Amino acid sequence: MKRVLVIHYSQTGQLTEVLGRITGPLTAAGIQVDHLPIAPESPFPFPWSWTGFFNVFPEAVGRDPIPLAPFSVPSEEPYDLVILGYTIWFLNPSLPANAFLLHPQAKALLGGRPVLTVIAPRNMWVMAQEYVRGRIADAGGRPVGNIAVVDRSPNLTSVVTIIRWMFSGRKDPFLFFPRAGIRQADIDGAARFGALIAEHLKNGSLDRLNPALLAAGSARIAPTLLVLERRALFVFGKWRRFILAKADRDPASRIRRVKFFSRALPVLIFIVSPLSGLSVRLMGLLQGKRLRAEIARILAY
């Protein structure tokens, strides 16, 4: 019997739902699926408080490890595939997901195994996935593909709906805004990827899994979003340094600066983002060939 281990952390439950759709066809095909949920030692609240949400920004951007609650592998028998599911916090892997990748047990669980990543992000995930892919390789794992089931709402629309969801816990439609998060049809449609995984796992052809997943729409990268993501990461690095600049000698300064950042960021998104979008689209036109080649490299496994 083929065996699959699913490792993930989902704060809202959305990623868990996506993974459930993907693994359903595996179970139906007679493949044993074991789950290893990971959790921080000190749970993060949901819904978030405004300051609490932005206060994790420096560690998320710095990819700093946090303590995890103790966890154990469901079985000592080796797995034929590991599925690593994670979400994106401030354009980086969530703090618990990153902590797992830096955990001593990551090598024991990923080493020598084919690893498929599954992401349930808002819209920008490429640089986080490049980092995760590198960490998997460092742990001795063999990345065999990636599935990104994303929120397909326009960028500023999803900013509004996600903010409401994160701070109120409500994701229902309101006014002229749609339901927050990934569309239910896209979550349900992720089952098609599970059928492909089951087929390639049973045939022993995981080395050919990623092209089949891509043909089914597992991951799409818009050149403009890739450029915008890189710009945002550069700016986020500066904000991180600003927040932590005096924290070692004046701990209270961190919260003061976090509060300032928490008010500045939404303003920058809604004022600067449209203007930045114009220059990003222009860059996409001027560097289209190079960006397409880079995207093809990123999607290849």
Write out pLDDT tens, residues 244-271: 999 999 999 999 999 999 999 988 887 7
Whether pLDDT at 92 is above 80: yes
Predicted confidence band of residue 150 (pLDDT cuts 50, 70, 90): very high
- Checking DSSP bridges between strand 88-89 and strand 92-93, what pairing results, if any? antiparallel
Query: In the prediction, which pLDDT does 273 show?
Result: 64
Single out the residue of 76, 102, 127, 68 nearest to residue 295, CA to CA: 127
Write out pLDDT tens, residues 208-233: 999 999 999 999 998 888 888 988 99
Query: In the prediction, which pLDDT does 73 show?
Result: 83
Distance CA 133, CA 116 (A): 10
- Average pLDDT over the chain reads 93
Question: What is the rounded average pLDDT of the residues 296-301?
Answer: 94
- What secondary structure letter does DSSP report for 122? S
CB distance 125 to 92 below 8 Å:
no
The full set of domains in the chain, from first to last, is: 3-220 (3.40.50.360), 224-299 (no CATH)
Whether pLDDT at 55 is above 70: yes
* Bridge partners of residue 7, in order along the sequence: 36, 84
Predicted confidence band of residue 289 (pLDDT cuts 50, 70, 90): confident
Query: In the prediction, which pLDDT does 72 show?
Result: 87
Query: In the prediction, which pLDDT does 271 show?
Result: 72
Whether pLDDT at 20 is above 80: yes
Write out pLDDT tens, residues 153-209: 988 899 899 999 999 999 999 999 999 999 999 999 999 999 999 999 999 999 999
CB distance 117 to 93 below 8 Å:
no
Predicted confidence band of residue 291 (pLDDT cuts 50, 70, 90): confident
Predicted confidence band of residue 281 (pLDDT cuts 50, 70, 90): low
State what percent of residues in the chain have pLDDT above 90. 82
Single out the residue of 274, 282, 275 nearest to residue 223, CA to CA: 282
